[in-house]
Amino acid sequence: METIRLDKCVAQNYGCSRREAGILIRKGLVTVNGVPVRDAALKVSGADQVRNAEQDLEVVTREAPRYFMLNKPRGVITATDDSEHSTVMSCFWNEAGGLFPVGRLDLDTEGLLFVTDDGAWAHRVTAPSRKCPKVYEAELENPADPGLKEIFAAGVLLRGEKTPTLPADLEILAPNLVRLTIYEGRYHQVKRMFASQGNHVISLKRIAIGGIALPEDLLPGEYRPLTPEEAALF
């Protein structure tokens, strides 16, 4: 039976980094077969019962992490649990627990969202230092001013923030339809970038993340596993 390190197992289950998992373990908050273990390098397998004693949750030990792409539909929230809305996890059937979404799309945004149980991988996709490109198509209320290309390439200051956005690439596809590539993931970033220039995003779709494009035949609500080659890009 395959084994994995305890910190990796905890990170996969909670969507945290290995460092954060290590802190939880060193605090004695993780038990293996009922015994608190402070050694993050301990190898565990599917035969071990691992628990997060702080939250009294079972940690599922998996032999291999899983990676999916979902075409997130509008109207579902990017979370594992919500008292008001359906979550993106409701799109998944026949998959055991432990999965969580990587990053976040707004309730009314659709498109490419990764879902995994590998916290370290998720961290690599979203870490600001990696500047992973994310491509969005946006329908705008007003025609896009051609000057926006230069403005977004230079970076804009969003309301309430101290540092300008990183240079972003804008393509104007039609008067009210644009494609924007950003290299960070601030709160409501695309909508706020257009709002900062007096325009308004009417609909928003993410069409690619880090070189992986949303396939045209993957309809909203559908998902498929990433190939090993795709998962290895991050």
User: Euclidean distance between the first and final Cα of the chain, in Å?
Assistant: 27
| Catalytic entry in 7, 48, 82, 106 | 106
Q: Does 106 bind ligand URA (CB under 6 A)?
A: yes
* 176 lies in the binding site for ligand URA (CB under 6 A): no
Report, in Å, the least distance between residue 116 CB and ligand URA.
19
DSSP string, 88-151: GGGG--S--S--EEES---TTEEEEEEEES-HHHHHHHH-GGG---EEEEEEESSPPPTTHHHH
123: contact with ligand URA by CB under 6 A = no
Is 39 designated active site?
no
Residue 109 or 116: which CB sits closer to ligand URA? Answer: 109
* Cβ atoms of 181 and 149 closer than 8 Å: no
- Kindly tell me which residue out of 21, 105, 168, 214 binds ligand URA, with binding defined by CB under 6 A: 105
Q: Which helix (H) or strand (E) holds 194?
A: helix 189-195
For residues 123 and 191, which CB has a smaller minimum distance to ligand URA in the complex?
191
Among 31, 189, 196, 197, interactor with ligand URA by CB under 6 A = 189
Residue count of the chain, please give it: 234
Residues that bind ligand URA (CB under 6 A): 105-106, 109, 188-191, 204
